[in-house]
Structure 1
Amino acid sequence: MQLAYSFVFLLASVLVSLSPSAQAAPAKRAELITLPLKRVHQSVPNIHPAVYLQQNINRGLRRHARMTGREAPSDTELKRNIHKRLLAIEEAELKKRGHEKRYNRHGVPKQRIQPSPDLPGAKALHLKGNNGGGANQFASTPLNVSTGDVDGDGFSQIDAAAQAKGGLTPAIAPTAVNSLGLDIEANDVGYIATVQIGTPPRDFKLLMDSGSSDLWVGAEGCQSEDGGDCGNHVFLGEGSSSSFADTGRNFQVTYGSGAVQGDIVTDDLDIAGLVLNAHTFGVATLESVEFSGDSTSFDGLMGLAQSSLSNQGVLTPVEALAQAGLIKDAVTSYKISRLSDGKNDGEISFGGLDPNKFDPATLVTFPNVNKNGFWEGAFTVSVDGVDLGLAGRSAILDTGTTLIIAPPEDAIAIHSAIPGAKTDGQGSFTIPCTTSASVALTFGGRSFDIKAEDLLFTPVDPRDLDGDCISGISSGNVGGDTVWLVGDVFLKNAYFSTDVGRNTMSLAELI
């Protein structure tokens, strides 16, 4: 097979994502307010799945470093990680072709990859390619799937079809008062809430992120770091809102992937009918390409960790709602749904927990052990009911991260207990798409199983949904051997709630 990209061109294209850029009046009182979450889908270049996985791991490593107060890996180190992936892919391809030496001018095989996110911690690796003979050989016939996984084995065909199609799946009616339903973008990509901002109020789609603490939307006249505008989004400013006011102060936020900078402003924020008048937040005048593209399906981001993390130095919306007396407590609760279940019943709730979403007999509450304002709890790990003996571990629970990223030795221990698992020696693993292995994390004395289907990040060969799949648990140099970054691979399997006032978290089994 002729190799389509030069090594230098492909290396440049996959490294783009590493470039950084840049008192409320009381209204009606409610115990519980919920609003919709939607998943996010974004285009990515034609890159190999192993390289795309490394991009996602890199984002997690940078995000994890920020969460734990450790020095983030340098751009040079992250680029070196990707470079190693490229060399390994090329070596494997040349070996198959009978070459004994590596020729950088060959690059890596061309593949077909459909739109997928490159967001701060959001789900990645939505591969639409066709792997024709192993991880490095892509066929030219596109995958065509449109039905569910009838026998329940292998990678879900519903997910595979959603990878190729993208778009939103509408939510069902919400189950709680003051609540809005969840729409799903593609196959469990990211989660967006729709809120109203300004006078007159307009809808803004905001990525919900328990791993950061700043709210921002794009500013009128926003510029992208690539020199253009900030895409087909909704923007805020004096031209669109009569209640908009600039404080004259600036902010900047850098995420695991992407960055924004701009002005700190005040304007009216309506969350499910509860209005925070003159709430303080940010408008981004400069966005990195991860946020400014037309294929980015949100207009801004709402951080829901604790405000001690805020780069803007202001209360998070949930804290402001509690301070204004609009909700009883600064509690945020998440039901993250799974496309393949066909329920589409996800929601985010402010001020309490939605009893329609979880079994109260299984609810456990445990302390937040993070001193910086993130949500981190002690836990243990088992596979198929056997405790792995990984003592003294803690996990940062982050809705804005897709993968689980574990210290290398822990990731090896987990996969060593999964029949058929293999490692590529660079931090990622494959497991059989038909695995029935049960990985469980125990918090507060209660074990929560991760569904086998959630361990399947993507098939190695999209034409063989019963073959090997890339694991949703990866390893990385997270700056310590006891702290994990635990994202939606796990959080889709439990009801998740955070309480700022008590500095605790809760988990419960879903119903």
Structure 2
Amino acid sequence: MKTVATLATGSLIASLATAQVVRFDIARRETRPGQQKLGRRQAKTYEETITNDVQRGGYFATVTVGTPPQNLTLQLDTGSSDIWVPSSSSSVCAKSSPSGGSRGGDGETSGGDQGCSLGSFDPRKSKTFDDVGKGLFNISYVDGSHSKGDYFTDAFEIGGATLTNMTMGLGLDTDIPYGLVGVGYALNEAIVAGSQMASSAYKNLPVQMMDEGMISTNAYSLWLNDLDASTGQILFGGVDTAKYKGQLSVIDVLEDSQTNAFTSFIVSMTSLTANSPSGSDALSSRKLPIPVVLDSGTTLSYLPTDLAIQVWKEVGAVFDTETQMAFLPCDMENSKGTFEFGFAGPNGPKISVDMTELVLDLGEGDNVPRFKSGQYKGKTVCQFGIQNFTSEPFLLGDTFLRSAYVVYDLENNQIGMAATDFNSTKSNIVSFPSKGAKIPDGNVVQNQVSATGPDSGSATAPTYAASKGFQSVASIKPALEWAQLAVTGATTLFMLAGSGLSFL
């Protein structure tokens, strides 16, 4: 997980659907975090409205923990595997947080949040709390943020689905003022990393849901919809065939190269093509095929530097050496260009991502920064949804995932993927019939190409035939100019928004 600022969605609606399927719908709401509405929709189905904080980015669900229940709003994360909650006694919850609630140095200030505004957990107030691992919970994220404390068991409820003895982490020492719901592989749990022993793994949320008969197998599907969507869905134990186009292409999850085990949702990205009205470019990298993690807890996408530079040049993005981020004018969201991501070779799925999903606001009204010099002088500044990493893990976060319907099958170690059907109002839920059953409506890709290791490909500069078509909307030069953007008094991106600062 690597959280950065973005306008993701407004909220989540969590609901328990039919037998063997647990559904969490995503919806945009104007309510504040912590407000919720519970309503019975039909037999064994409940609707829960929860608000996503646009300053933090990501997708959040309101849950209850303990007996009697305490309300908390937690971020949903496919890139981690623990549920953890901030303790009410932690320093980040007891006072105002300087970063305003952002994770590490990647997010933006939330403008005056006091401590843990999305809720914290007080174990002294729960009669079913049981501390089962003092000092054993210790998790760190790519952006440098962390949470440390104890493991405990207690009641956990979301959308009418109640687990009476859920293992969770208690953040006693954390710089993150909200918790997470990690739904990845159990081998990616913090306790496994700490002990270096697979036997330390416990039953995390999807495994526990399966064991308690809520779902038939350890699998779920993700439909985030577009950036301004009013609805979306995370469906445990099933697939909604009305939320994507065509048939699901099923590809293999790759084992971690260091542990030779399945620890995260790594797939082989084998191509990236830039398409626009002026032409197409097959972009290249020395690291192709690239192992990439499909991670809903990361708001941006992070590619190898040689590949990211080609992407930036196509769209005319400029790189700020101080924040180490790429930016572009906000009117580029009107560009007709798209990027097509290919997986597992020529027979695998191909997902097109357009610029409306990749141009992310940094503020509103007077808080919007502007370019004060260079080719974009006077234009409002937006963050670009594709950034660079210099080494693994490379990540495809929400800026990619909104364009794909993704099925995560942890039993068979497979991913089902298809182009999303944006703003679909139809629903056709098909549950997995049994443990280990194949992905419904899935077609296994033949002759899959796997990631073969570092620097196995070659980087060749494209002709940039698509560049003019991408950038014509903004009437700018097709070649990338590395504008040096000075940000007075700011050393990290989260300080850009909400401060009224402008780019020089």
TM surpasses 0.5: yes
Q: Superposition pairs for residues 173-322 of structure 1, below 5 Å?
A: 180=48, 183-186=51-54, 189-224=57-92, 231-250=116-135, 251-255=137-141, 256-288=143-175, 290-291=176-177, 298=178, 300-312=179-191, 313-322=201-210
Q: Of 362, 375, 380, which residue of structure 1 is paired with 2:265? A: 375
User: Shift of the alpha carbon at 1:488?
Assistant: 1.0
Partner of 1:448: 351
Q: Deviations over 1:153-208 (max 9, x none)?
A: xxxxxxxxx9xx99799999999956656644337822111222222233321111
SS of match in other structure, 2:263: coil
AA matched with 1:344? S
Contact 1:38/1:191, CA 8 A, preserved across alignment: no
Identity value in percent: 23
Q: Deviations over 1:61-103 (max 9, x none)?
A: xxxxxxxxxxxxxxxxxxxxxxxxxxxxxxxxxxxxxxxxxxx
Question: Aligned equivalents of 2:227 and 2:32: distance in 1?
Answer: 12
Partner of 2:396: 486
Partner of 1:142: none
User: Shift of the alpha carbon at 1:317?
Assistant: 0.3
Deviates more, 1:438-447 or 1:467-476: 467-476
TM-score, structure 1 normalization: 0.59
Contact 1:207/1:301, CA 8 A, preserved across alignment: yes
SS of match in other structure, 2:399: helix
Partner of 1:75: none
Question: Aligned equivalents of 1:330 and 1:467: distance in 2?
Answer: 45
RMSD of Structure 2 on Structure 1 (CA)? 3.8
Question: Aligned equivalents of 1:262 and 1:226: distance in 2?
Answer: 16
Question: Aligned equivalents of 2:379 and 2:50: distance in 1?
Answer: 30
Q: Deviations over 1:363-416 (max 9, x none)?
A: 222111142511111122110054324541231111111221111111122233
Q: Deviations over 1:432-472 (max 9, x none)?
A: 53332211112352221112122213476289996664422
Q: Superposition pairs for residues 119-198 of structure 1, below 5 Å?
A: 180=48, 183-186=51-54, 189-198=57-66
Question: Aligned equivalents of 1:305 and 1:494: distance in 2?
Answer: 18
Partner of 1:32: 21
Partner of 2:388: 475
Residue 495 (structure 1) aligned with residue 495 (structure 2): no
Partner of 2:243: 357
Deviates more, 1:228-237 or 1:204-213: 228-237
AA matched with 2:119? V
Contact 1:263/1:285, CA 8 A, preserved across alignment: yes
Q: Superposition pairs for residues 92-103 of structure 1, below 5 Å?
A: none
**TM-aligned CA distance change 1:236 to 1:455, over 3 Å:** closer
**TM-aligned CA distance change 1:456 to 1:166, over 3 Å:** farther
TM-score, structure 2 normalization: 0.60
Q: Deviations over 1:307-358 (max 9, x none)?
A: 1011133222011111222211111322224453xx4202322222233432
Q: Of 345, 352, 370, which residue of structure 2 is paired with 1:461? A: 370
User: Shift of the alpha carbon at 1:210?
Assistant: 1.0
**TM-aligned CA distance change 1:441 to 1:321, over 3 Å:** same
AA matched with 1:475? N
More strand per residue: 2
Contact 1:34/1:349, CA 8 A, preserved across alignment: yes
Partner of 1:152: none
Contact 2:267/2:343, CA 8 A, preserved across alignment: yes
SS of match in other structure, 2:231: coil
**TM-aligned CA distance change 1:225 to 1:416, over 3 Å:** same
Contact 1:436/1:452, CA 8 A, preserved across alignment: yes
Contact 1:222/1:230, CA 8 A, preserved across alignment: no
**TM-aligned CA distance change 1:180 to 1:496, over 3 Å:** farther
Partner of 1:149: none
Question: Aligned equivalents of 1:497 and 1:34: distance in 2?
Answer: 13
Q: Deviations over 1:462-498 (max 9, x none)?
A: 899966644221222124xxx6311111111122221
Count residues in correspondence: 347
Question: Aligned equivalents of 1:168 and 1:346: distance in 2?
Answer: 20
Q: What 5-or-longer segments of structure 2 have no aligned partner?
A: 1-15, 97-113, 192-200, 257-261, 363-368, 422-504
Question: Aligned equivalents of 2:212 and 2:150: distance in 1?
Answer: 24
Q: Of 302, 327, 331, which residue of structure 1 is paired with 2:215? A: 327
SS of match in other structure, 2:238: coil
Question: Aligned equivalents of 1:472 and 1:441: distance in 2?
Answer: 14
AA matched with 1:285? L
